[in-house]
Amino acid sequence: MKSFRKNKKLILIILLAGLLPLLILAARQIQELRGRAAGTSEVGVRLTPSSGTFNPGEQMTLKIAMHKLATRAINVSGAQAQILVSDKFTINSASCEAPFNSLPFTRITGQNITVMCAISSAETPVAVTAADLPFATLNLTVAGSAVAGSGPVTFTSTRVTEAGVSGQAPDVSTAGESGNYDVGGGGGTPPVTGDVVLSFSPGQVNLPPDSTVKIMADSGTKKVGFTRTVFTFDPAKINLASEITATNPNLSTPVEKTSMAVANQQGKAVIVVASSPSDIPPGGVFELASFTIKAISTVANDTATINFLTSDMQYIDEANQILTLGAIPLSITLNGQNVTVTATPPPGGDFEVPIGSKDVITVDIGGVPGNIPQISFSAELAHTQANPDMYFRLRVKDDLYFVDNPGVVLAPTCNSPSEGEKDFYIPVRAQGNVYKPVASINVPVPSGAGVAKVTADGWVVLEGIAEDRYYTFILKAPKFRGVQVVEHVYLQSGQQSGQVFSWVNNPLEPGDLPNPNDNLLQDCTVNSVDISLMVSRIGSTGGADLKVADVNFDGIVNGNDISKVVNTLSTKPDDDL
């Protein structure tokens, strides 16, 4: 027995002696990996420009560039950075620069930006020199309420990947040189105020291509019964490319409207609309009109504005009181070079998606019976760079229908609800990144769809849905996967505080694309078919292709769109039905 114990100890000692060199080698390799993760500081990363003074409302474009610090030759295949932007700035967009835009990935989360930009495996690595080599562009706007002072833009992580090192992908970056920018304004520009604040949506556009803008009003608690709106522009720089369309169904009485030809001749347009006796005067944030603009100037990086002429305007509430006005102009960049264009994609992208002529969809709410449930909600789309108007589909499922109807076979499909279910196509508009129901939008209705009635203050009328029962909601958007957002909710009649939902923490993920080979229908799943639809449209900026595969609404189908759908494919809970 003693001999066995001695032999056992001897065997353990021999094994430990043999493992010790391996453990030491592993520890050294871990140290080497950690050293590489920190970067070798041979290639600097910085923002250009790294400083400057900008005023509230002013747009600024920053390049993220690399430059060589080492004396040896360095070729790279890509670079990435994580950046924290001061809350003095609004982040408009982030994009990868050529030649590092073959495999782009960008993400904006709050004030944090992540960019990963690389060449494809078939391309030749890029030589880095002492001169700045941009790999990404950031487009920011100084917030209108920003207080004068310093606004830093700082790197929280960087990586520059050296190419041509066999079996390795070493990081040769520095930690990054942050930028520091001064916000002017002599103590800050106060926010625009008034009983009604007028603005444009979007608040900044780049021309060309032509862009559609909306006149928006925020009247807070005031109900507006009469509006006279006047705006001016420089016709030598921009023109209207369409007639002005009054879009609010609750300001249904047209009084005066300047034609496109006259507006382009004078550089001034007037639109006067009022509520009829049967209208519900709008309040809060509402759309007033829309029109399309085009570039006339051919000067590179030219600028223009569209301004409200408040001295010639008048808004009156339902009690015939004159309201005070505030106004925010539209900022326009013309023929931008090295400017990231936040494109407004062609409208549509709906579920059954035939393209027809644009019509203003007017929903006559009228009196809503008191026994019909109504809901209000807010929701987001993941990974978008623009947020156009669209129709969300809300499928409402009666949780206990099968109990009351035991003999009925329930067989829902992606595009057809079953017994005990109903689909509502809801017009929605984004405020920032958050979508909310609105009474009407200037987007074609999905073929065969019934548009839900939405009140002026954003309540969706669930016609055909019985009160005092339990329901499940599945929310879906064009080109996005459906998500079960509510389960077993008890709906009561009318507008109840418990029937206001926020789903912004469960954003819809992109990937369920309309298939041109199947009448542009979606199939309520994300799979290889969706990937193939994107790959076949890589590089396209055509309207039909964008409608199918531009999932982040940046005006081009590229690797950025594919990466978003691959991410969705990796999670794949596909609970549309």
Per-residue pLDDT tens for 525-544?
888 788 888 888 998 898 88
What would the two tokens of residue 412 be? 């829902």
pTM > 0.85: yes or no: no
Q: Are strands 133-142 and 390-398 parallel, antiparallel or unpaired?
A: unpaired
| Nearest in space to 222 (alpha carbons), one of 299, 310, 323 | 323
Percentage of the chain modeled with pLDDT above 70: 85
Do 324 and 240 belong to one domain?
yes
Mean pLDDT of 516-532: 82
Lowest mean pLDDT among 211-220, 244-253, 528-537: 528-537
In a domain, 357, yes or no: no
Kindly give the pairing relationship between strand 59-68 and strand 43-48.
antiparallel
Confirm whether 17 is domain-assigned: no
Work out the average pLDDT over 505-516.
88
Q: Are residues 438 and 483 in the same domain?
A: yes
Q: Look at residue 324 and give its three-state secondary structure.
A: coil
| pLDDT reported for residue 339 | 38
Q: Which of 482, 509, 536 is a domain's end point?
A: 509
Strands 390-398 and 469-476, bridge-based pairing: antiparallel
What residue numbers bound the domain in which 528 lies? 515-576
Check whether residue 482 and residue 497 sit in a common domain: yes
Clarify whether residues 485 and 519 are in a common domain.
no
My answer on whether 127 and 141 are in the same domain is yes
Judge whether residue 350 has pLDDT over 50. Answer: no
Clarify whether residues 159 and 264 are in a common domain.
no
Backbone angles phi, psi at 133, to 5 degrees: -120, 95
Between 301 and 255, whose confidence is greater?
A: 255
Query: Among 232, 209, 234, 219, which Cα is nearest to 275's?
Result: 219
- Pick the range with the lowest mean pLDDT from 26-40, 241-255, 412-426, 541-555: 26-40
Residues 209 and 136 reside in one and the same domain = no
Instruction: Answer whether residue 348 is part of any domain.
Output: no
Whether the bond between 516 and the residue before it is cis, its omega within 30 degrees of 0, is no
Residues whose CB is less than 8 angstroms from the CB of residue 468 and which lie 6 or more positions away in sequence, other chains included: 490, 491, 492, 493
Residue-wise pLDDT for 83-105, tens only, equals: 999 998 989 888 999 999 887 88
| CATH code where residue 201 lies | 2.60.40.680
Question: 240 and 126, same structural domain?
Answer: no
Provide the number of structural domains found in the chain: 4
List Cβ neighbours of 307 (8 Å cut-off, separation of 6 or more).
231, 232, 233, 327, 329, 330
Task: State the helix-helix crossing angle for 559-571 and 528-535, rounded to 10 degrees.
Answer: 180
Query: Is 275 part of any domain?
Result: yes
* Contact by Cβ (8 Å): 149, 181: no
Statement: residue 493 has pLDDT above 60: yes
What is the pLDDT confidence band of residue 516, given thresholds at 50, 70 and 90? confident
Q: Say yes or no: 147 and 62 in one domain.
A: yes
Domain boundary residue, one of 463, 486, 509: 509
Q: In the listed set 459, 477, 509, which residue is the last one of a domain according to the structure?
A: 509
Q: Mean pLDDT, to the nearest integer, of 492-508? A: 90
One domain, residues 319 and 378: no
Nearest C-alpha neighbor of 39 from the set 15, 8, 74: 74
Interatomic CA distance for residues 222 and 234, integer angstroms: 33
pLDDT band at 401 (very low <50, low <70, confident <90, very high): confident
Q: DSSP letter for 385, please.
A: S
Nearest to 93 by CA among 430, 343, 347, 349: 343
| Mean pLDDT, residues 270-294 | 93
* 214 and 178 within one domain: no
- Whether residues 381 and 442 fall in one domain: yes
Query: Per the domain annotation, does 504 fall within a domain?
Result: yes
